[in-house]
Chains A and B, each alone.
Chain A
Amino acid sequence: QKEVEQNSGPLSVPEGAIASLNCTYSDRGSQSFFWYRQYSGKSPELIMFIYSNGDKEDGRFTAQLNKASQYVSLLIRDSQPSDSATYLCAGTPNDYKLSFGAGTTVTVRA
C-alpha cells in the first residue's frame, strides 16, 4: 500500500467552479502535508502546506487536514484555465522525505 493515495482523476471543471482534490495517507506519524502543482514539462511548484487539523486558506486555495481520518484535501475556488495542471499531494512520513501521491490532473474548461 502506498503511503499516500490520491484520487487520480482526471478532473474536469468549468471555469469559475470549485475543484476538489483528495488524498489519504497511511502513516499516522506523518506530520505535514503539501500540495504541489505541476504544469506539463515543468517541475513541481509548492502551493500550500498544512500541519494542523482544520482548514488553511491562501487566496483561492484551501487545504484541509483531518488527522483522525488521515485525509487531506485541496479546494480550488473560482477555477481558472491557468489552474489546469497536475496536482500532487505529499506527506512526510519521516525526516522531511516526501511521499507523493499519484497526482490528479485538473482541466478547467473555459
Chain B
Amino acid sequence: SAVISQKPSRDICQRGTSLTIQCQVDSQVTMMFWYRQQPGQSLTLIATANQGSEATYESGFVIDKFPISRPNLTFSTLTVSNMSPEDSSIYLCSVVWGRGGTDTQYFGPGTRLTVL
C-alpha cells in the first residue's frame, strides 16, 4: 500500500489560532480524504480532496473553517482555522489505493490536536 505521512504528529494550540496539517503520500493518488476523530468517537469525514478540483465538504463542515489544498497527486493540507477547544481531535488523511481489484482506503498516522 501507499506510505502516508502527516505533519505535525501532534500539537497544542491556543484558541483563536490556526493550524495547517500536511499529508504526504509516497505515490501518486487521485482520491484523498480528510477525517476527524473526536475523543472516544469514531471517524467522521470532513471533505474529499481530489487533485484538480475544489475540495467537497460534508454536512457540518465548511471551507472557511477547514480550508484544504491539493496542489498535486502526492500532497494535501488541511487547515483548522480559528480554533476552539471543540476542535480538539485527531485529524487523519486517507488515500484510495487499488488492491486485489477493489480500491481501499489507507490512513495516515494522524495529527493529534489539542486546543486550549
Residue interface bits A38-68, CB-to-B below 8 A is 1, else 0? 0000111110010100000000000000000
Question: SS class of chain B's interface: helix, strand, loop or mixed?
Answer: strand
Q: From B31, B44, B92, B104, give the contact of A46 (CB < 8 A).
A: B104
Contact stretch, chosen from B60-68, B70-78, B79-87, B105-113: B105-113
Most buried by B among A32, A36, A98, A102: A98
What is the CA–CA distance of A34 and B102 in the complex, to the nearest angstrom? 11
Chain A interface size band reads 20 to 34
Q: From B31, B33, B43, give the contact of A44 (CB < 8 A).
A: B43
> What residue of chain A has the Cβ atom nearest to residue B92's Cβ?
A43
Interface size on B, residues (CB 8 A): 23
Could you say which residues of chain B place their CB within 8 Å of the CB of A32? 102
> What residue of chain B has the Cβ atom nearest to residue A51's Cβ?
B102
Could you say which residues of chain B place their CB within 8 Å of the CB of A49? 102, 104
Could you say which residues of chain A place their CB within 8 Å of the CB of B53? none
Q: In the complex, are the beta carbons of B109 and A97 less than 8 A apart?
A: no
Q: In the complex, are the beta carbons of B48 and A43 less than 8 A apart?
A: no
Q: From A43, A45, A101, give the contact of B42 (CB < 8 A).
A: A101
Min C-beta distance of B38 to chain A, whole Å: 12
Residue interface bits A3-16, CB-to-B below 8 A is 1, else 0? 00000000000000
Interfacial residues, chain B to chain A (CB-CB below 8 A): 1, 31, 33, 41-45, 48, 58, 90, 92, 94, 96, 102-110
19 A-B pairs whose Cβ atoms sit less than 8 Å apart in the complex = A32-B102, A34-B105, A36-B107, A42-B109, A42-B110, A43-B110, A44-B92, A46-B106, A88-B43, A96-B31, A96-B33, A96-B105, A97-B45, A98-B33, A99-B45, A100-B42, A100-B43, A101-B42, A102-B42
